[in-house]
Homo-oligomer: A and B are copies of this chain.
Amino acid sequence: MSDVARAAGVSAATVSRALRGEPGVSDATRRYVTEVAKRMRYAIARDASSLAGGRRYAVAVLTADVGRGDLLAGAEGALRQAGYDVLLYVLRDAEARKRFFDELPLARRVDGVLALAVNLTDAEDAALTGLDVPVVAVWDDDLREALRLAVGHLTGSGHRDVALVLAGDIDESYDEVLVAQGLPVRPEWTLWSSSTVAGGEQVVDALLDGERLPSAVISTSGEVALGVFLRLRRDGRDVPGDVSIVSLEGTDLARAVGMTAVEGAWRERGEHAVEVLLARLRGEQDETEPPSVQLVVRGSTGPARDS
């Protein structure tokens, strides 16, 4: 930077102000400095900038699962455009997750935290809040809303025996949504799975071991839903004749295989989360609503067997 200052015949402070768009520089000077900097291919040393200025121009993005590509891509694009670096943390499994929250390697390193598809426990949330930077989480509310839609659709078709498959580290309180809509909750019908097709297949195995099959399965993960579908079919069950399936993660994969799903505009959801975070960073509050989700009925759901 001092090179640029010398070349432009101004002080380093002026270069700094000019390049950052700070007030207190004449238009002519700003233009000239900008041009010189460009010609010299000057790239700011962010470390020094952060050290002196206090801001870090970086946001940590936590995700449980890189599979939810659109959410992540949307957030990355929006952050990048706003001039923030994206520090990616993949909380792949319980162990990685625990290590992350134990060490919490974010202190003094980021201006904010975005938790995508993570579903923080209270303790984890507290740990992040202790960092003293804004934390924005996407997924939990979205998931609840999606679940409500799915349950509504199923009860409307006479389903009462609904199994819920949760992918990732998700707390149990989702059962409440079932209860709220008047459905019974059977412990053996609340299942956990990794977010993979194979996970979905295993879920079906567990279900088949039980007394009887539920008449419908809701899965938070599109891949799991597909696994459930494939495994059921391989076992000679008809979908939706014997079992209906709803995925809470609508992607074009769901569309292509004809899976009833909640479509969430995930890229837009990621961008919206960034808006909220940036507003918090500015000390404001973003009041806009996230993009709404909607249920798209396809061939994987039908009336309940006994209705």
Contact = CB atoms under 8 A, between A and B. Distances in A.
Contacts of A44: 108
Contact of A46 (B76, B109, B227): B109
A245 interface: no
Contacts of A48: 47, 51
A139 interface: no
Contact of A198 (B56, B85, B87, B256): B256
A8 to B, nearest CB: 19
A111 B47 CA distance: 13
A226 B253 contact: yes
A252 B43 contact: no
Contacts of A108: 43-47
Contacts of A70: 66
A93 to B, nearest CB: 10
Contact of A197 (B198, B227, B255): B255
Contacts of A227: 256
Interface string A124-154: 0000000000000000000000000000000
Interface in A203-243: 223, 226-227, 230
Interface of A, secondary structure class, is: helix
A90 B77 contact: yes
A186 interface: no
A256 B233 CA distance: 12
A108 B48 CA distance: 11
A287 B230 CA distance: 42
B109 A90 contact: no
Chain A interface residue bracket vs B: 35 or more
Interface string A50-82: 110000100001000111011011001100100
Contacts of A230: 256-257
A197 B252 contact: yes
Contacts of A255: 197-198
Contacts of A72: 66, 90
A98 interface: no
Contact of A89 (B65, B80, B257): B80
Residue among A47, A48, A50, A257 having the largest count of chain B Cβ atoms under 10 Å: A47
Contacts of A76: 88-90
Nearest to A197: B256
A51 B197 CA distance: 46
A40 interface: no
Residue among A56, A251, A252, A257 having the largest count of chain B Cβ atoms under 10 Å: A252
Q: Which 6 residue pairs across A and B have the least CB separation, nearest first?
A: A43-B107, A66-B69, A88-B88, A197-B256, A47-B50, A47-B51
Given A43-B105, A48-B51, A230-B257, 8 more contacts: A66-B69, A67-B69, A76-B88, A77-B92, A88-B88, A196-B252, A197-B252, A223-B253
